[in-house]
C-alpha cells in the first residue's frame, strides 16, 4: 500500500512573533464521530490568529499547534453519525484553531454548505468576520431598520462586513476609517457617510464629524473592533439609549470607561465573543450563515478579498494583518 502523503501546515512550536510560524508536514488527520475531514482550499487570516500565535489570546491551544479559525474547502470524508454534510460538499467552517493546513478535521456542527457561486476565498473570508458583524448587530444590539450605525475600523474584515450587514438590515451607516483609500472601499461597500480617525484632536473632531453627518442626536449603535482612542471618541458620539458593541481591540489599548456618561445617556455597553456562539449555539450560527448566504446571492453582502497568498508566503499574509495594511480580508490558498 502506498505511503500516506504528508499534509502541509503552518505550525507554532513556541508563542511569539509571526516568524515563529513554520511551514511543516503533519500527519494526515482522520475524522472521528460527528466530525468531518476537509480538504482545505482557503483559510482566512484574522487578527485573533496573531494573538494566538503571540500567546496573548484568551484561549490558547497546547503546543505545537496549527493556527487558523476560518476555512473553506471540500469534504473529503465524514466520521460516524455525520448527517449535516457529505463527501464532496463545498463547505466553509469555523474552528478554534487548525485552519492553516491542507487538511483539517472539524466538528460537523461547525460546517455549512456554501452557495454554488461562492468561491473558496470568499467562503473563508465570510466566516468569522460576517458572523461577528451579524451577531453584533442583530443578536447583541438589536439593530432595527431606520437606525443609525457607526462602524469603526470600517475597512477591516469585521468593519466592512458590519457596513454591509447593517445596510442589509436597513440601517444608515457611518463608516470610520483612517485613510482615503479605506474611505473609498467603505463607500463602495455601502456606507452612507464616512468619517476619519486620522485627524488631530480625535476626541473633539470625531464627534463633530459624526454630528455633521447624522445630526446632533448622534448614532444609535456603535460596532467597535478597534478600541483605544477610537472607542473613547465613539462613546461621545452615541445618542440617548444608544448601544455600543465591543468586538475587539485592534488598536492595542483596552479602553477604560468613565461610567458617568453611560449613566446619564442610558448607554448600553455590550460585549461580543462570537466563538462562544459557535461552541454553545452552533445551530443558531448555521441559521445566521444561511441568512448571510441568501444576502450574498441577492448581492447585498460580498467579502472584499484584498489578496490571496500561497501557503509558503504565509509571513507576508500575517504581516499585512499585523501592520494593519489589510482592506477587507487576506486569505491563504492551500494549493499553489
pLDDT of residue 47: 92
Beta strand 238-246 pairing with 219-224: parallel
Number of Cβ within 10 Å of residue 265's Cβ equals: 15
Of all helices (H) and strands (E), which one includes residue 305? strand 305-310
Q: Using the CB atoms, write b or e for 288-317: b if 16+ within 10 Å.
A: bbeebbebbeeeebbbbbbbbbebeebbeb
Architecture of domain 7-127+302-333: Alpha-Beta Complex (3.90)
Cell of 22: 513554520
| Predicted confidence pLDDT, tens digits, the chain (336 residues) | 344 678 999 999 999 999 999 999 999 999 999 999 999 999 999 999 999 999 999 899 999 999 999 999 999 999 999 999 999 999 999 999 999 999 999 999 999 999 999 999 999 999 999 999 999 999 999 999 999 999 999 999 999 999 999 999 999 999 999 999 999 999 999 999 999 999 999 999 999 999 999 999 999 999 999 999 999 999 999 999 999 999 999 988 999 998 998 999 999 999 999 999 999 999 999 999 999 999 999 999 999 999 999 999 999 999 999 998 999 999 999 975
> What's the rounded Cα separation, in Å, for the pair 324 and 248?
14
pLDDT of residue 336: 52
**Could you give the residue range(s) of every CATH 3.90.180.10 domain in the chain?**
7-127+302-333
**Contact by Cβ (8 Å): 49, 68:** yes
Give the class (CATH, top level) of 144-272: alpha beta
**Could you give the residue range(s) of every CATH 3.40.50.720 domain in the chain?**
144-272
> What's the rounded Cα separation, in Å, for the pair 161 and 125?
10
Question: Rounded to two decimals, what is the model's pTM?
Answer: 0.95
pLDDT of residue 76: 97
3-state secondary structure of 237: coil
Closest CA to 333 of 43, 28, 19: 43
What is the secondary structure of 79-102 as a DSSP string?
A: -TT--S--TT-EEEEE-SS--SBS
Residue length of the chain: 336
Amino acid at each position: 500500500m502506498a505511503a500516506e502523503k504528508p499534509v502541509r501546515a503552518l505550525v507554532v512550536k513556541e508563542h511569539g512573533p509571526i516568524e515563529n510560524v513554520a511551514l511543516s508536514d503533519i500527519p494526515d488527520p482522520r475524522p472521528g464521530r460527528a466530525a468531518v475531514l476537509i480538504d482545505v482550499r482557503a483559510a482566512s487570516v484574522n487578527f485573533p490568529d496573531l494573538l494566538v500565535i503571540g500567546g496573548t489570546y484568551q484561549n490558547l491551544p497546547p503546543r505545537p499547534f496549527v493556527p487558523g479559525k476560518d476555512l473553506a474547502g471540500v469534504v473529503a470524508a465524514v466520521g460516524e453519525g455525520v448527517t449535516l454534510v457529505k463527501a464532496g460538499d463545498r463547505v466553509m467552517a469555523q474552528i478554534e484553531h487548525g485552519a492553516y493546513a491542507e487538511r483539517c478535521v472539524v466538528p460537523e456542527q461547525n460546517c455549512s454548505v456554501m452557495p454554488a457561486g461562492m468561491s473558496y476565498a470568499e467562503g473563508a473570508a465570510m466566516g468569522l468576520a460576517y458572523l461577528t458583524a451579524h451577531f453584533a448587530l442583530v443578536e447583541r444590539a438589536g439593530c432595527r431598520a431606520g437606525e443609525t450605525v457607526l462602524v469603526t475600523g470600517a475597512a477591516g474584515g469585521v468593519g466592512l462586513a458590519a457596513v454591509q450587514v447593517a445596510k442589509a438590515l436597513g440601517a444608515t451607516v457611518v463608516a470610520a476609517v483612517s485613510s482615503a483609500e479605506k474611505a473609498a472601499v467603505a463607500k463602495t461597500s455601502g456606507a452612507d457617510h464616512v468619517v476619519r480617525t486620522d485627524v488631530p484632536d480625535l476626541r473633539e473632531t470625531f464627534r463633530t464629524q459624526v454630528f455633521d453627518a447624522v445630526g446632533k442626536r448622534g448614532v444609535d449603535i456603535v460596532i467597535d473592533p478597534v478600541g483605544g482612542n477610537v472607542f473613547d471618541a465613539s462613546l461621545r458620539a452615541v445618542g440617548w439609549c444608544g448601544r455600543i458593541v465591543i468586538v475587539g481591540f485592534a488598536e492595542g489599548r483596552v479602553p477604560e470607561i468613565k461610567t458617568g456618561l453611560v449613566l446619564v445617556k442610558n448607554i448600553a455597553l455590550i460585549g461580543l465573543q462570537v466563538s462562544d456562539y459557535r461552541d454553545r449555539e452552533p445551530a443558531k450560527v448555521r441559521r445566521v450563515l444561511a441568512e448571510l448566504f441568501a444576502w450574498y446571492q441577492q448581492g447585498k453582502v460580498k467579502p472584499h478579498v484584498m489578496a490571496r497568498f500561497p501557503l509558503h508566503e504565509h509571513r507576508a499574509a500575517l504581516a499585512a494583518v499585523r501592520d494593519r495594511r489589510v482592506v477587507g480580508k487576506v486569505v491563504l490558498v492551500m494549493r499553489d
